[in-house]
Amino acid sequence: MTVTFWYDFGSPNAWFAHHVIPGIEARTGARFTYVPVLLGGIFKATGNQAPFAAFSGVPAKLAYMNHEMARFMRRHGLQRFTMNPHFPLNTLALMRGAVAADSLGLLGPYNETMFRFMWETPRKLDDPAILAETLAEAGLPAEQLLALSQDSAIKDRLVANTQAAVEAGVFGIPSFRVGDELFFGKDSLTDLEAELAERRGSA
């Protein structure tokens, strides 16, 4: 079974999902396909906005979100998370880089690098010099990736990924799809795993 995982490195909840996914794959035998999209494009197409903006005038909601995040971290043993002091970042170059990395068969190590330096040892990755330095430090072909990111085919593919996600009903990140079932948010991973187990049992 294959699960589509739409993600943008600018979402802290995508980082959480990324670190919970391996356990789900081990328990269910499913495989998650990572599809890079641009969260800003999804927001624009759907009229949605980031929670920190949507609930800026509701202090109790923001406090609950922070509490829920801490609870999720404890439940899953995710202690490496650190809020990026530069948040929110412009992730356009990062997500184009993901598409470029995918075209080179390097999406896995690229994802690990970007998630790490967004939400574990945070850097201002929307600074081109810092992004290039980070890629090189991780042993990735920085010059090739950055050059490919400017290729029209790579840009078009990110746009197409984002549009396809919107057409599938995606309005925020992280989002997942199993067959025709759409799941949104890190907290939906429990239901997603139950869906996988049910489908496996009826196969």
The residue among 170, 189, 176 whose CA lies nearest residue 42 is 170
**Partners of 31 in the β-ladder:** 2
Q: Report the amino acid identity of residue 10.
A: G
Q: What per-residue confidence (pLDDT) applies to 98?
A: 98
CA atoms of 46 and 170, how far apart (whole Å): 8
Query: How confident is the model over 126-141, as pLDDT tens digits?
Result: 999 999 999 999 999 9
Residue 137 burial (CB count, 10 A): 11
Q: Write a three-state SS string for 44-81.
A: HHHCCCCHHHHCCCCHHHHHHHHHHHHHHHHHHCCCCC
Per-residue model confidence (pLDDT) at position 54: 62
Amino acid identity, residue 146?
L
Domain 2-202 CATH (choose: 3.90.1110.10, 3.40.640.10, 3.40.30.10, 1.10.20.10): 3.40.30.10
pLDDT of residue 66: 81
Q: Residue ranges per domain, the chain?
A: 2-202
pLDDT the model gives residue 76: 85
Cα angle, residue 183 at apex, residues 177 and 186 outer, rounded to 5°: 120
Taking the C-alpha atoms of residue 111 and residue 117, their distance in angstroms, rounded to an integer, is 10
Chain position carrying tokens 């939906």: 188
Give the position of tokens 């929670």.
Answer: 51
pTM: predicted TM-score of the whole model, two decimal places: 0.93
Amino acid at 187: D
Q: What pLDDT was estimated at residue 203? A: 57
Parts of the chain with a pLDDT under 50: none
